[in-house]
Amino acid sequence: MNPFGPLGVWMTRGLSAEVTLPVAREAERLGYGTFWLSGGRTPGVFDEVEQVLKATEQIKVATGIVNIWVESPESVTEAYLRLEQAYPGRLYVGLGISHAPLVADLGLDFSRPLATTRAFLDGLDTQPTPVPVERRIVAALGPKMLRLAAERSLGTHPYLVTTDNTAAARAGTGPEGTVAAELGVVLDPDLAAARRQGRRAIERYLGLPNYTNNWKRAGFTDADLAEGGSDRLLDAVLALGDRAAVAERIAAQQAAGADHVCVQVLGDAPDRIAVLRELAPRD
């Protein structure tokens, strides 16, 4: 089951409405199936989700992801039910455990991520009117979290993944699970320049074990993680180059098992809409 369409758009929460809403409206006009908005380290993502829903007419909107350390089953359920009533059929709730260093900054204990995620899902299911299983998706990378995602949601929303990671997500969620993979894009025929921009974008993720362990499962080593990431790593987790090269990377993710690829245009805001026009779904 894939309710998202073949292609979507992923954006970071916290940008101004003047940046986010024109991109959302243009994504809808161009035929992208779903608009994803990151959750971040503070509560309140559904306020920005509501702005996107209000500014558009039919595109689906998903959180990528609600950080379960800063929201509660009650707050997620209240927001979902309120927005579902106002914009029926359009909201999907992506949920995730975040990362040990970020959670430590909040003074919280990350030692049992699988159990914590399961408990949050239990909390959703015990609400008087639960968020339906078919309207939520779990950010999962490792085998145990992938099994939980398959059992308790639509599937998984993996971020910064190689095609090998996507194939593992497909195997882990089974043939019926939805794999909605994020893919960072730098559309630039100068590959060296594209890699420089890509390296700036992923630098902060190189110290987060959820990602580094996942890349190592795909065959990368500590040497690939050093000095901002190797070219080999960058080329595997991002789509870099001209339109043909980026389209090839999208197709590779789909061939590896992604039902839905949500592209994140990396770089300056004025470039986003132009890139989305270049990559728009074609009949």
Res 267: pLDDT: 75
pLDDT exceeds 60 at position 269: no
Q: How confident is the model at residue 157 (pLDDT cuts 50, 70, 90)?
A: very high
pLDDT in tens, 184-230: 999 999 999 999 999 999 998 998 998 999 999 999 999 999 999 99
pLDDT (mean) for 170-184: 97
Pick from 190, 187, 182: which is nearest to 274 by CA? Answer: 187
pLDDT exceeds 80 at position 110: no
Pick from 84, 98, 9: which is nearest to 46 by CA? Answer: 84
Is-contact 180 156, C-beta < 8 A?
yes
Q: Residue 250 half-sphere exposure, CB side, CA atoms within 13 Å? A: 25
> In this prediction, what percent of the chain has a pLDDT beyond 70?
95
Phi-psi region of 198 (alpha: psi -120 to 50; beta: other; left: phi over 0): alpha
Q: How confident is the model at residue 130 (pLDDT cuts 50, 70, 90)?
A: very high
Say if domain 7-278 classifies as CATH 1.10.10.10.
Answer: no
Res 270: pLDDT: 60
For residue 209, the one-letter residue type is P
Is-contact 228 199, C-beta < 8 A?
yes
For residue 23, the one-letter residue type is V
pLDDT exceeds 80 at position 282: no
Cα(45)–Cα(52) distance, integer angstroms: 11
As a whole number, the mean pLDDT across the chain is 93
> In this prediction, what percent of the chain has a pLDDT beyond 90?
86
pLDDT exceeds 80 at position 63: yes
Res 85: pLDDT: 98
Res 1: pLDDT: 79
Res 103: pLDDT: 60
pLDDT exceeds 60 at position 70: yes
Could you give the C-alpha distances from 255 to 2, 94, 101, 177, 236, in angstroms and in order? 15, 23, 33, 15, 14
For residue 11, the one-letter residue type is M
Pick from 197, 204, 174, 213: which is nearest to 265 by CA? Answer: 197
Cα(152)–Cα(18) distance, integer angstroms: 36
pLDDT exceeds 60 at position 249: yes
Q: How confident is the model at residue 111 (pLDDT cuts 50, 70, 90)?
A: confident
For residue 238, the one-letter residue type is L
Res 40: pLDDT: 81
pLDDT in tens, 71-104: 999 999 999 999 999 999 999 999 998 766 666 6
For residue 111, the one-letter residue type is S
- How is the chain split into domains, by residue range? 7-278
Is-contact 9 64, C-beta < 8 A?
no
pLDDT exceeds 90 at position 271: no
Res 128: pLDDT: 98
DSSP secondary structure string for all residues of 172-212: HH-TTSEEEEEEEEEE-S-HHHHHHHHHHHHGGGGG-HHHH
Q: Higher confidence at residue 183 or residue 43?
A: 183
